[in-house]
Amino acid sequence: MVSALQVEVEKVGSSLAKVKLSVPADEFEREISRGLKQVGSQVRMKGFRPGKVPLSVLKKHHGAQVLQQVRENFLRDAYTQAVKDESLKPLSHPKVDLESLTDEAGQGFDVDFEIALRPEIVLPEYKGLTIESELEPVMADGIQATIDDLRRQQSRPEPAGDAGLDEEGIVLCDVSFHHEEDSLMERENLRLSAKTPPPGVDAEAFEKAMLGAKDGDTIEVEALLPDTLEKESARGQQGTCRILVREAYRMLPPTEEELFAVAQVDSQEALQKLVKERMEEAHEERERVRVETALIDRLIADTDLELPEPIIEEQTQGRLQQLHKQLEEQGLEHDAIHAAMDEQRPTAREEAIKGLRALLIVETVGEKEGLLVTNEELEAELASIAERNNASVDEVRQYYSQQGLGQQMAIEILERKVRKFLHENADIRTPS
């Protein structure tokens, strides 16, 4: 767009630039006319030859669309000019509600907007940071507990018969809650064990009542009625939970040979060795994540940087909007949602500040150490996402493009590289 833009830039501290854009009336009207003519060359309207639709008719039908596009073009050009002329380093693109602006004929186009700037960051020393290892050794009792869990996972149900439900068994049952003479909530065909009480039911009392239960038995236990009941007067009141046992099962554990086959080993010694190796890998992975997170948190705490308020507020609002959506999906009422959001605002703001600080520090370390994200890494990430979601790479690429998630994916890859770099260059000490 060729235009007579008037762009004034005022830096406010090191983290914000205020931009004033002014477009003369003749230039503004000329661009609108040009936009309408371009639309006229493409649209087909009854009663008019192609390219011969009067501007007044085009303005009536397409004026709002063209006006919005012209405004966006001028705003983009002003942003580009401000960044170039003042050598700005934007942290984000400006958010301007162009639809809320009003125009007066012959007045041109004037708008003010702000550009959040990347603050100057002086990193503390980030190589050779000392941290004590908390890597947990794999113990024999832990190995046996894991094998026992595997055995329980591979157990198969068979009718409990006259023996009834035991500690490891399960029941297929209907559960209902009652208050006085009212049946308040019913759930059918639930799978429960004696160790998985319904909400509001004391675990010890439930287990005692359920042990020995047989097909057709009805078990009643006291319950603190859930807050989700439709009858408000009964919420939180003392009531009764009734369990109708349809079928009771005991869990038959696999034989040693069956367990070996699942683990693809041929002996108890080989099974213990395999479990130990897997547990060591899991412990090492947890410790790696812990160490990397601790190193990042230390850099965040030790780095002094000023964040622009507009970007903090934008990130805070984004987190609150996510909370709003979650609470709506849970069925909370309007007043309860807004009360929860007001309560969570300080926490959302703290999380936004920490997230922004972490992002800037990760990017700065990446720049200093040349930890660039390559096209090959982006393609590998797309392939990994596609495999996890049973989709093609092209489908994932198209989705990320349509949702504008490409930059976010690059940032996540960079963060992994920076975390790995900090870990590899840390002084990890084993406690004496």
pLDDT in tens, 118-162: 888 899 999 999 999 999 999 999 999 999 999 999 999 999 999
CATH number for 321:
1.10.3120.10
Per residue in 210-242, pLDDT (tens digit) is 999 999 999 999 999 887 777 888 888 999 999
CATH number for 66:
3.30.70.1050
Residues 211 and 104 in one domain: no
Give the domain-ending residue among 116, 134, 167.
Answer: 116
Q: Coil, strand, or helix at residue 152?
A: helix
Q: How confident is the model at residue 104 (pLDDT cuts 50, 70, 90)?
A: low
Q: What is the mean pLDDT of residues 339-365?
A: 94
Task: At 430, list the tokens.
Answer: 């084993």
CATH number for 233:
3.10.50.40
Task: At 163, list the tokens.
Answer: 């023996």
- pLDDT: which is higher, 170 or 99: 170
Q: What is the pLDDT of residue 99?
A: 66
Q: Judge contact between 173 and 306, C-beta under 8 A.
A: no
Beta bridge partners, 357, equal none
Beta bridge partners, 12, equal 16
Q: What is the mean pLDDT of residues 111-120?
A: 87
Residues 418 and 330 in one domain: yes
Residues 109 and 180 in one domain: no
Residues 292 and 413 in one domain: yes
Q: What is the mean pLDDT of residues 32-47?
A: 80
Residues 161 and 246 in one domain: yes
266 in a structural domain: no
Per residue in 274-283, pLDDT (tens digit) is 999 999 999 9
Residues 240 and 286 in one domain: no
- pLDDT: which is higher, 334 or 174: 174
220 in a structural domain: yes
Q: Judge contact between 371 and 421, C-beta under 8 A.
A: yes
Q: What is the mean pLDDT of residues 58-85?
A: 88
134 in a structural domain: no
201 in a structural domain: yes
Residues 308 and 351 in one domain: yes
Q: What is the pLDDT of residue 12?
A: 84
Residues 203 and 108 in one domain: no
Residues 425 and 289 in one domain: yes
Q: Is the pLDDT of residue 1 over 60?
A: no
Per residue in 398-428, pLDDT (tens digit) is 999 998 889 899 999 999 999 999 999 999 9
Q: What is the mean pLDDT of residues 304-315?
A: 86
CB neighbours of 173 closer than 8 A, spacing ≥ 6? 189, 190, 191, 192, 243, 244, 245, 246
The CA-atom distances, in angstroms, between 101 and each of 94, 142, 236, 377 are: 16, 66, 51, 43
348 vs 306: CA distance, rounded Å: 18
Residues 86 and 222 in one domain: no
Task: At 285, list the tokens.
Answer: 């992975």
**Computed over its alpha carbons, how large is the radius of gyration of the chain?**
32
Give the domain-ending residue among 206, 237, 252.
Answer: 252
Q: How confident is the model at residue 100 (pLDDT cuts 50, 70, 90)?
A: low
Percent of the chain residues past pLDDT 70, beyond the cut? 96
Task: Report the number of distinct structural domains present in the chain.
Answer: 3
Residue appearing with tokens 């980030």:
126
Give the domain-ending residue among 213, 236, 252.
Answer: 252
Q: Where are the beta strands (DSSP E) in 106-237?
A: 109-116, 130-132, 156-159, 170-179, 182-193, 218-224
Q: Judge contact between 272 and 143, C-beta under 8 A.
A: yes
148-157, 174-183, 306-315 — most confident range: 148-157
Q: Is the pLDDT of residue 43 over 50?
A: yes
101 in a structural domain: yes
Q: Please state, rounded to an integer, the average pLDDT across all residues of the chain.
A: 90
Residues 86 and 219 in one domain: no
Q: How far is CA 356 from the centre of its chain?
A: 15
Q: How confident is the model at residue 46 (pLDDT cuts 50, 70, 90)?
A: confident
257 in a structural domain: no
291 in a structural domain: yes
Residues 294 and 187 in one domain: no
273 in a structural domain: no
- How many CB atoms are closer than 10 A to CB 382? 21
**Domain limits at 26?**
6-116
